[in-house]
Structure 1
Amino acid sequence: MQFVSNLRESSFRRKLIVDLSKNDFNKKFKGSYLGALWAFVNPVITILLYWFVFEIGFRSGSTPEGYPFVVWLICGMVPWFFFAEAFASATLSFSEYSFLVKKVVFNISILPLVKIFSAFFIHLFFICFLIVVLLCYGVTPTIAWLQLFYYVFCTFALLVGTTFITASIMPFFKDIAQVVSVIVQIGFWLTPIVWSLDIAPLKYHLLFKLNPFYYIAEGYRDAFLYNTWFWSKPFETLYFWIICFVLFTVGVAMYKKLKPHFADVL
């Protein structure tokens, strides 16, 4: 009976997360003429801007592997859009949903997940967008594309640990939202998303690879372009999951320690 009860509770929680995520997604653009279209317009414009600057302006016609630059670029940009949006919004989850935080019976630990899933809805569109672009450029689908599910899971794992830390700090230190914004900006340029790691001096390669998002960005390219499986990079894979485990452990510990004081400061 306890097992059945736990299954029902888990099912209810999953449904609640999805329902709240849909509501959060719709609420973001409520009142604007284009509505949810703005969630897709801005990233598309960003991709076009970088494509114009780097491929037309700097004449980066193709990557060292021979793929068109725009294809290589989108493979790195699509997961970054998801991570950056979810990271920033989930950091504000406890503050934004303060009315739920003050309800004793509500399990507020799902709030960062609500924000992450809300951003994931947009990510699903851009995954489809990416696949269409790949097909238009003649990239043939392979079984390695199935790794997309693995790398999406990796992104969720990295986000959950990271945002539990920042969201738990946010009610006590409002400036954390600005800190996250700065981290996102720095992280974008320090991750080989619009530039290739090959152009950096070899002695700095390890330093760039310490960024856990490097594993995800390169993973999308490995899956869609290079047909490289994640288990062929055992040390990078092990390092990534150690980082995720540490972030999750720290995040949960901070959440449990600070949760009793949320209602007092919100």
Structure 2
Amino acid sequence: MKQARGAVLGWAWLAVKPIVFIVVFWFALEIGLRAGSADAAYPYFVWLVAGLIPWFYMSDMFSTGSDVLHRYSYLVNKVKFPLSGISTLYSLSTLIVNAVLFVILFVIYAAYGMPWDIYLIQVPILMLLMFVFWDMFSILTSQLSGISKDFGQLMKALSQPLFWLSGILFNMNVLETSGFGWAANVMLFNPVTFFVTAFRDALCDKRWFWEDPVFFGCFVAVFVATLVSMVLVYRHFHEEVSDVL
């Protein structure tokens, strides 16, 4: 990846940044603001990291992945590489880095003495599902960004609000108990919220990610809508993107 090129530690820097990010948030929330609850059935730090690590992958796909054709425009114009292949290769390289962070997560999980059970089998399944969905998202949005740079800027602008509003730093159940049930209903269609919740269900709450039929059904609807949109956009614009770039 470009951001690791020329550095002495190379790809290690791709993991260093999120690790520093995790430590800072842990210190600010659990130590500074006392956000962790002593009555919880699991350590707050494990809960926090279980949401942050998948977010790092999704954040990259939402910002850089949605503009990947501009980033690697030479592959489009000179090599004539398939547009979908560019998105897929970027998605895969980003997922590999994220897999290293998941290994670190399991080390933290074991260090806290949490149980190894059947629910953990969901983690690799969810990683594969996350890869498929966000690869489709990248193929869809990167072509729209290729046609319009404004669309790419919009995706980058929405990345930070998505982080704060998707339940990464707070439990989504708080919305319902605080009288914001309408917001909780909207979040049912947020794929970021789905994956963050699903990983936390597997690691902390010991639930299957399909146990909530409404939440899972909403994700399936978003998945299908993204797939259909990707196919339609690819058919109409994949030949025009290289001319615009």
Q: TM-score, normalising length from structure 1?
A: 0.84
Say whether the 8 Å CA contact 1:171–1:265 is kept in structure 2: yes
Match of 1:102 in 2: 77
Segment drifting more, 256-265 vs 94-103: 94-103
The ranges of structure 1 where at least 4 consecutive aligned residues each deviate by more than 4 angstroms after the TM superposition are none
Show the counterpart of 1:171.
146
SS of corresponding position for 2:149:
coil
Unmatched 5+ stretches in structure 1: 1-24
What is the CA-CA distance between 1:58 and the residue it aligns to? Answer: 0.9
Q: List gaps (5 residues or longer) in structure 2.
A: none
Secondary structure of 1:92 counterpart: helix
Shift in Å, 1:61: 2.8
Q: How does 1:185-204 map to 2 (within 5 A)?
A: 185-200=160-175, 201-202=178-179, 203=181, 204=183
The answer for the alignment partner of 1:218 in structure 2 is 197
Task: Using the TM superposition, give the Cα deviation of residue 64 of structure 1 relative to its aligned residue in structure 2, in angstroms.
Answer: 6.1
Equivalence map 1:157-168=2 (5 Å): 157-168=132-143
Q: Deviations over 1:186-220 (max 9, x none)?
A: 11111111112233224232223331221111110
In structure 2, relative to structure 1, the CA distance for the partners of 1:109 and 1:136 (3 Å cut) is same
Number of the residue aligned with 1:144: 119
Q: What is the alpha-carbon distance in structure 1 between the residues aligned to residue 114 and residue 90 of structure 2?
A: 33
Matched, 1:36 2:11: yes
234-243 vs 149-158, greater mean Cα deviation: 149-158
For residue 255 of structure 1, what is the aligned residue in structure 2?
234
Structure 1 window deviating more from structure 2 (158-167 vs 127-136): it is 158-167
SS of the equivalent of 2:234 reads: helix
Matches within 5 A, 1:101-140: 101-102=76-77, 106-140=81-115
Aligned twin of 1:17? none
Contact 1:164 1:252 in 2 (8 A): no
In the alignment of these two chains, the number of paired residues is 241
Alignment of 1:4-19 (within 5 A): none
**Residue 52 of structure 1 pairs with residue 31 of structure 2:** no
Matched residue, 1:205: 184
- Partner AA of 2:166 in structure 1: T
Name the % identity. 27
Q: Distance in 1 between matches of 2:164 and 2:78?
A: 40
The one-letter code of the counterpart of 1:190 is L
2:209 maps to which residue?
A: 230
TM-align CA RMSD: 1.9
* Inter-partner Cα distance in structure 1 for 2:155 and 2:144: 11
* Structure 2 residue 244 is the aligned partner of structure 1 residue 265: yes
TM-score w.r.t. structure 2 length? 0.91
Deviation at 1:108, TM superposition (A): 2.7
Question: Using a 3 Å threshold, how does the CA distance of structure 1 residues 230 and 88 change in structure 2: closer, same or farther?
Answer: same
Residues 164, 63 of structure 1: alpha-carbon distance in 2 compared, 3 angstrom cutoff: farther
In the TM superposition, what whole-angstrom CA distance separates every residue of 1:2-53 from its partner, at most 9, and x where no partner exists?
xxxxxxxxxxxxxxxxxxxxxxx3x431112332221011101111111111
Give the Å deviation of 1:104. Answer: 8.1
Q: After TM superposition, give the deviation of residue 126 of structure 1 in Å.
A: 0.7
Deviation of 1:93 after TM superposition, in Å, equals: 2.4
Rg larger in structure:
1
